[in-house]
Amino acid sequence: MSEPSEGLRPTIRLDKWLWHARFLKSRSLASDLVAEGRLRVNGQHTEKPARAVGPGDVLTFTLHGEVRVVRILGLGARRGPAPEARELYEDLAPASPPPPLE
């Protein structure tokens, strides 16, 4: 994680943030997801796992057949437990529709 300077926002590598936020089990899987071009940052495709992201950025990606849209709230200093990881982002994806009644 880079040190914040005056006028600059703190940032972290995209693959590292995805791993810290527990979207993927390993950093190499996160890197592969980004390198395959399956992720957008603020609406723009990226294929660079080292792309810097920070609070306020919106990520859009497909994971396990589900479209995820999340806003980064924090960077995290480590890959902690799930409740801690959940505080790093806000889920912006619309709720999935309920199953049809039979």
- Let me know if residue 36 belongs to a domain: yes
Q: 7 in a domain, yes or no? A: no
- Domain membership of residue 39 (yes or no) is yes
Which domain does 20 fall in, by range?
Answer: 12-91
Q: Residue 42 burial by CB count (10 A; 0-12/13-18/19+): exposed, middle or buried?
A: exposed
The answer as to whether 58 is a domain residue is yes
Residue 74 lies in a domain: yes
Does the residue 38 lie in any domain?
A: yes
CB-facing half-sphere around the CA of 67: CA atoms within 13 A? 8
Residue 56 banded pLDDT, cuts 50, 70, 90: very high
Inside any domain, residue 4:
no
Residue 6 lies in a domain: no
Number of domains into which the chain is organized: 1
Per-residue confidence band for 93, with pLDDT thresholds at 50, 70 and 90: confident
| Residues 10-30 pLDDT 10s | 999 999 999 999 999 999 999
- Alpha-carbon distance of 77 to 34, in angstroms, equals 21
pLDDT tens profile 57-91: 999 999 988 999 999 999 989 999 999 999 999 99
- Give the domain CATH number at 25: 3.10.290.10
The model's pTM: 0.84
